[in-house]
Amino acid sequence: MDESRDMRSRPQALTPGPEIKTTGGVVRGITTHDVHTWRGVPYAAPPVDDLRLRAPQPVVPWEGARDGSRYGPVPIQERIGEFIGAGRHTPMGEDCLTLNVSAPSTPSDEPRPVMVWFYGGAFVVGASSAPTYRGYDVVRRGECLLVTVNYRLGALGYLDFSGYGTPERPIESNLGLRDQIAALEWVRDNIAAFGGDPGQVTVFGESAGAISVTTLMATPAAHGLFHRAIAESSAPGMVFGQERARGWAAGFVSALGADDDPLRGLTTATPDELLAAARILRETIGDQPGTIPTAPVVDGDLLPESPLDAFEGGRAVDVPLIIGTNDTEGRLFELPRMRMDVLVSEERASQMFALTQPELRDQVLAAYEGTAHRKDLGGDYMFWYPSVRVMQAHRGPVWAYRYDLTTPVLNLMGVRATHGMELYAVFGLVDSGAARVLTALGGRRHLRALSERIQADWVHFARHGTPAGHWPTYDTDTRLTKIFDRTDRVESDPRRERRLAWQGFRGYD
């Protein structure tokens, strides 16, 4: 990886940047591409040894100026590539609770708005250091600050082992969610020193990061820590009850070989042993299609109810919200190494309905059978329809979108505007290696133009609380939705027939 490469600029050298005093101590930044950046800044104590599986604790102060030129270790995860998480040589470890701050190098008389990014990856992979999320374009264009946050993943962040804790050695639930809240508290307390406005914070994320956004909106402890929200391809229903979550935790303990002494096994297992047990768990939950065991849990403590219930009951925080999905979300998961069978198998979809609301099975399947949208059933189940439920229930202003831009290569692959494709536009990755492959047969000019427009909307929203372009708010009378494509347009109640077919579906508890 070339640390100095910006996706739209020629390579530039890294030069020393300003020193900033934080609650932990002084951090020395670097400057590149007209952006000051401070990398690997701790926002909590290392969650290691006695702090493994514990809620994040206050940052440990350091002496002298900390080097902010290097990213902190990525959370424990499988090494599947640097694009979103960990490549072969990426440093990895449990001491991962760090964040990165980027700001324009030009001075400003006024505090700048702050955008806080939570990465995706099904809560099992991802890292704030991934090249995808550098965000130099966003910072320069928006005259804003960008904060990208590491949070714990997999067993260490999203399995509910709280039932195995003791008074002497407690274990908290929702550790990854607690990490995100701790990072937002750090932003509140420190971002002014970097030139940011702690009263003008936008949280945004994609996939698991967007689930994080909609979950934080339903988490009372997070209320007041952010003022706007953007959810790109959230799956708001991928939050489960404690009974189900503790069943998954028990399965993990068995896979770890720790049934005789779960607490000791969980607190002493090596990272490789934890990852191996997680692989076994994923292979043994086939009787619950359409779920992910690593996800936030309704614990009655930090998260008192499911986000969808909170939205529909008017108890989610009523900040302005941009929320949307991509045209063919589920088709990414037909690819060999991405396959999620509930999204592509009619048999598994039928099993999912049998475990949730069997009375709706025929009604929903009838909207897809014999149509060009048959392959989109799973993506609609996981991402689109639950996002519609948020759109129609949220008490604050809502701007709804669908991302439709595709390329000839994506069309040949059969995935079109599938899950994650909007990231190229949001982060200005038009000239990245992956984008060059995806536009090898055409489409780069359209992607570049859309990137200009979507970034303008996102940063205007962060600064003013409204998108930049023509984009009416969403309501249940007109359901006006912006379609991002070669030429943007606004449609009323797109996919009405499919929406009505899903109406009343609530999913797993």
Helices 175-190 and 208-216 cross at an angle (nearest 10°) of: 70
Residues 396-414, buried b or exposed e (16+ Cβ, 10 A)? ebbbbbbbbbbbeebeebe
33 is catalytic: no
Set 128, 162, 173, 207: catalytic member: 207
d(CA 123, CA 212): 9
Both tokens of 355, joined, read 């475990």
d(CA 450, CA 132): 17
329 is catalytic: yes
Set 185, 329, 334, 422: catalytic member: 329
Residue 75 belongs to what H/E stretch? none
8 A C-beta contact, residue 128 and residue 100: yes
8 A C-beta contact, residue 180 and residue 211: no
d(CA 359, CA 345): 19
Both tokens of 452, joined, read 């200009």
Tell me the β-bridge partners of 146. Answer: 102, 115
Sign of CA dihedral 213, 218, 224, 230: positive
8 A C-beta contact, residue 259 and residue 253: yes
What residues contact 336, with CB distance under 8 A and at least 6 apart?
none
Set 128, 233, 419, 432: catalytic member: 419
Q: What is the DSSP letter of 487?
A: S
d(CA 384, CA 310): 18
Residues 39-52, buried b or exposed e (16+ Cβ, 10 A)? bbbbbbbbbeeebb
d(CA 130, CA 147): 13
452 is catalytic: no
Within 13 Å and on the Cβ side, how many CA atoms surround 112?
Answer: 27
Enumerate the active-site residues. Answer: 207, 329, 419
